[in-house]
Structure 1
Amino acid sequence: MSTDPNDKAAVEKRLWKELDDARFGMLGLMNAHQHFQPMTAFAEPEGGQVWFFTRDDTDLAKSASGGAEAMLIVQSKDQEFQACIGGVLSTARDTARIDKYWNPIVAAWFPDGKDDPALTLLRLDVRDAELWISKGGPVRFAWEVAKANLTDSPPDLGDKAHVKLA
């Protein structure tokens, strides 16, 4: 899927589509000296939010309880799209969203179900994103690398875009 990096609406639409398709990303706090962690993302483009289930005793939940700068790293399954999404991470006990996104995979982490006292949600209010959009998959990648080595010029592997989301 080709996306013009200068078309803000197209870039933003692609970001939300890829996040919804990938469903997983690496979430971490800025300046927290904690490693990023794999999390299942539930995107709400209309509100500029991404939601995650977690337990209230995790490092992320403890650090985000008052709001904290965070980043979510996402890569498409075909590896032709990568994004780093920045925003503010906070905790919430939102029963409507728990009901909306509850599924058998989430349930596996919470033996007491939706009423598990440790269940909490993390909400990422997105601010901006940096995106890398590759062209043509592995064949194009190999061609561009070979061409670059023969011509002493950098490979043309795609585009980079920055989009403000809030």
Structure 2
Amino acid sequence: MEKDFEDQEAIKKLKSLAEDIRFCMYTTYKNNRIDSRPMTTQEIDNEGNVWFFASRNSEPASNNGESVTLIYSEPKNNTYLSISGNAGQVHDEAKKEELFNVMSKAWFPEGKDDPDLVLIRVVTEEAAYWDATSSKMVVFFSMLKAALTGTTPEGGDHGKLNLT
């Protein structure tokens, strides 16, 4: 069923989906090439911005003001999310302190003060989701029923998340 969300409800839905999945493919388009790399979401803030840590010399750290797409996928739960926005480095020591955790230390052993650590914020411009939280068995029987009856299977909820 198509169900769009607006403003604060859209941010709430975005946060609930992305924070449950946590890992995304951070996708850029440069020189007629699509590049994707896995990234760990540190936070979705109250404005719908997505926060990451990255290595200073990495490709994501060089995306100041550039368009990116974040693709979240949790096939086990039939949940998918696509976020498009603009990425940029943010120099905010308090935010680094707030977001840094034990898992971050695995990548940045010197801690929040690691000179290689940069903070990236993706300002969300568009987002869409697909959420069929039914079990795999329910999804399978929905597809089987559709195949036998010549109809389209019930695909769960999907829609746009309009944050502004």
Q: Smaller-chain TM-score range?
A: 0.7 to 0.9
How is 1:74-89 mapped onto 2 (pairs within 5 angstroms)?
A: 74-76=72-74, 78-89=76-87
- Unaligned runs of 5+ residues in structure 1 are none
TM normalised by structure 2 equals 0.86
Correspondence 1:72 to 2:70: yes
Report the Cα offset of residue 37 of structure 1: 1.3
Give 2:163's aligned amino acid.
L
Give 1:118's aligned amino acid.
D
Q: Aligned pair in 2 of structure 1 residues 35, 110: CA closer, same or farther (>3 Å)?
A: same
- State the match for 1:155 in structure 2: 153
SS in 1 for 2:60: helix
SS in 2 for 1:46: coil
- State the match for 1:38 in structure 2: 38
- Once the two structures are superposed, residues 58-102 of structure 1 have per-residue CA deviations (whole angstroms, 9 ceiling, x without a partner) of 11112x13x110111113474232110111111122211110111
Q: Aligned pair in 2 of structure 1 residues 10, 164: CA closer, same or farther (>3 Å)?
A: closer
The two structures, once aligned, show a CA RMSD in angstroms of 2.2
Report the Cα offset of residue 157 of structure 1: 1.7
Identity %: 28
Relative contact order, higher structure (CA 8 A, sep 6+): 2
CA distance in 2 between counterparts of 1:150 and 1:103 reads 51
Q: Aligned pair in 2 of structure 1 residues 79, 141: CA closer, same or farther (>3 Å)?
A: same
2:86 touches 2:123 (CA, 8 Å); kept in 1?
yes
CA distance in 1 between counterparts of 2:11 and 2:75 reads 18
- Tell me how many residue pairs correspond in the alignment: 162
User: Which stretches of structure 1, 4 residues or longer, exceed 6 Å deviation after superposition?
Assistant: none
- State the match for 2:26 in structure 1: 27
2:88 touches 2:122 (CA, 8 Å); kept in 1?
yes
1:73 touches 1:84 (CA, 8 Å); kept in 2?
yes
- Unaligned runs of 5+ residues in structure 2 are none
SS in 2 for 1:73: strand
CA distance in 2 between counterparts of 1:6 and 1:112 reads 43
Q: Of residues 92, 100, 104 in structure 1, which corresponds to 2:90?
A: 92
1:39 touches 1:52 (CA, 8 Å); kept in 2?
yes
- State the match for 1:124 in structure 2: 122
